[in-house]
Amino acid sequence: MKRGIRGRLLLLSATVLISIIFFLPSMPVYQTFPGWWKKYLPSRGVTLGLDLQGGIHMVLEVEEEKAIENLVERTASSLKDLLDAEKLPVTSVKRTGPSELTATLPGPDKKTDVAKKIEANYPNFIPKESPGNELIYHLREGEAIRIKESATTQALETIRNRIDQFGVAEPLIQRQGPRQIVIQLPGVKDSKRAKELIGKTALLEFKLLDEENPLGRSLPVSITPQNEETFMAEYGSKVPEGDEIMFERAVDKESGEVRRRPYLVKKRTMMTGDVLTDARVNIGQFNEPYVSIRMDGTGAQVFERITAENVKKRLAIILDNNVYSAPVIQDRIAGGNAQITGSFTTQEANDLSIVLRAGALPAPVHAIQDLTVGPSLGQDSIRMGIRATILAGLLVILFMVVYYRMAGVVADAALILNLIVLIGALAALNATLTLPGIAGIILTIGMGVDSNVLIFERIREEIRQGKPVRLAVDGGYDKAFLTIVDSHVTTLITALVLFLFGTGPIKGFAVSLSLGIAINLFTALVGTKVVFDFINSRWKLQRLSI
């Protein structure tokens, strides 16, 4: 046997062996393999897409206007702190419009000084005509546009971080249009938990309770959720300016009854969760889970100052306008460590730690499309896809054997080799197999046959001209080479465009088609050719069954 033939046969054998090794983790029998196999050899196989194994498909829309309102709220709070620190008189600083804030002064004496301080520290806010003792500023139009554009991008990254920590294999998270985000989570069984985790704004705030006001002391200990509207109708009008009523969710351990505990909370935010560097679940002395949080250097300093100035007062820890706990500050707290306790399960504590670590969404999001795909539909799709692949393969194999005889058998062997290597390549790349991906595999079968038909017809022409079998085979492959490469390259370009600009299912089709094209070139031009060369070198064929 010539050295060139031996080398190509070894290459084909190695390719088949490697493909099978990579595909084995996708088979149910892989669970019975020994530990050393899973440790040293590939352990990740083909991942099934949303349409094959079920899961969640969501389209979220970002409320960009709310991102501007949040920025103005934070600016108003920080401006009040700045003016107090500079000992400049100010009665209140609050948001009075979507992109407008108003500083109210006790008198006009220091109005110029306060205006200079605001304009020097907040250049993105420009003054409006301000009557009397008020200073009115609104956000620059260019800055408002920038915030809107970045809100969706920030939301996309935050959601991606949350899902990565949630542990979903091969999720699809991508932007769609100016303010929409498409999310696909294959294999997720607890859809309610996943949706809550994704959509939670996770705005963490620290606010003081207003315990000096008589209303705060007269609030009931707890109410039922059904009575919340009645409660607000009775007490809402009595809330003083600068305060608000917020609720803590409490669960009775014995009866499991959920109740709501009202608090009178000062609107001013003392600190937000953007200073957090870590959040972890721990178990307390009574076997109850809590979330321990750690702050950065700036947050640690601010938290230490807040606790030092408010000893024996209660500090509410609030997430998305829900009070999680309101402990009494016993002493100055240094080091930037704190705890969030509440009546939640270990799973709820884990989800809370995930959203805190991933960060808050820059603006709320709401679902405009929400679908849950059942696994039974996916199993039907898999079954029908496999059936279609087998049927298409059998028809092609039968046609090639009938029409091209022995050469058709060689082409059928190359076709099976093509499928083995393609499935192995998908597994090696840990690609996500979707229903369109199965369609791409079936299309690859057709293209594989088309390549062999071109080659065989060229070989027939060479034989009709009276050339010996070996020269006819060589001539057929040489003449068909450029035609096959041209057709495959043009199809490959189309597949690459689909991959770059398509969405999830289209990308699945493009991946399987691209791999199939590349592998088909190898099997058609190398796989079948080495078989013909091997037969000619051993038996010196005088005629070819083609």
Q: Is the pLDDT of residue 247 over 90?
A: yes
Where are any strands of DSSP class E within 377-518?
432-433
DSSP H helical ranges for 256-360: 297-309, 346-358
pLDDT of 246 reads 94
pLDDT of 510 reads 85
pLDDT of 262 reads 93
What does the pLDDT look like over 448-458, one tens digit per residue? 788 888 888 88
Highest mean pLDDT range out of 134-138, 153-157, 482-486? 134-138
Q: Is the pLDDT of residue 378 over 70?
A: no
pLDDT of 194 reads 81
CATH for 200-372, among 1.10.630.10, 3.10.20.70, 3.30.420.40, 3.30.1360.200? 3.30.1360.200
Q: Which run of H or of E encompasses 528? A: helix 528-539
Contacts of 34 (CB under 8 A, 6+ apart): none
Q: Is the pLDDT of residue 79 over 70?
A: yes
What mean pLDDT is predicted for residues 279-288? 82
pLDDT of 377 reads 57
Q: Is the pLDDT of residue 209 over 90?
A: yes
Domain ranges in the chain?
Answer: 3-52+376-539, 66-143, 200-372
CATH of domain 3-52+376-539: 1.20.1640.10
What mean pLDDT is predicted for residues 300-312? 90
Highest mean pLDDT range out of 22-31, 288-297, 358-367, 496-505? 288-297
What is the pLDDT confidence band of residue 207, given thresholds at 50, 70 and 90? very high
What mean pLDDT is predicted for residues 403-419? 82
Q: Which of 351, 13, 291 is nearest to 167 (CA)?
A: 351
What mean pLDDT is predicted for residues 395-423? 83
What is the pLDDT confidence band of residue 320, given thresholds at 50, 70 and 90? confident
Q: Is the pLDDT of residue 386 over 80?
A: no
Q: Is residue 103 within 8 Å of 75, Cβ to Cβ?
A: no
pLDDT of 522 reads 83
Residue 391 identity:
L
What is the pLDDT confidence band of residue 3, given thresholds at 50, 70 and 90? low
Q: Which residue has the higher pLDDT, 195 or 292?
A: 292
Q: Is the pLDDT of residue 236 over 70?
A: yes
Task: State how far the Cα of 321 lies from the Cα of 334, in Å rounded to an integer.
Answer: 26
Task: State how far the Cα of 181 lies from the Cα of 203, in Å rounded to an integer.
Answer: 20
Highest mean pLDDT range out of 47-51, 165-169, 298-302? 298-302
Contacts of 484 (CB under 8 A, 6+ apart): 451, 454, 455, 521, 524, 525
What does the pLDDT look like over 99-133, one tens digit per residue? 999 988 888 778 888 888 888 888 899 988 877 88
pLDDT of 264 reads 94
Highest mean pLDDT range out of 36-45, 208-217, 438-447? 208-217
What is the pLDDT confidence band of residue 498, given thresholds at 50, 70 and 90? confident
Backbone angles phi, psi at 539, to 5 degrees: -120, -5
What mean pLDDT is predicted for residues 164-187? 80
pTM of the complete model: 0.62
Length in residues, the chain: 546
Q: Is the pLDDT of residue 334 over 90?
A: no
Q: Which of the residue ranges 56-65, 305-314, 473-482 would you say has the lowest mean pLDDT?
A: 473-482
Q: Is the pLDDT of residue 222 over 60?
A: yes
CATH topology (fold) of 66-143: 3.30.1240
Backbone angles phi, psi at 477, to 5 degrees: -65, -40
What mean pLDDT is predicted for residues 209-238? 89
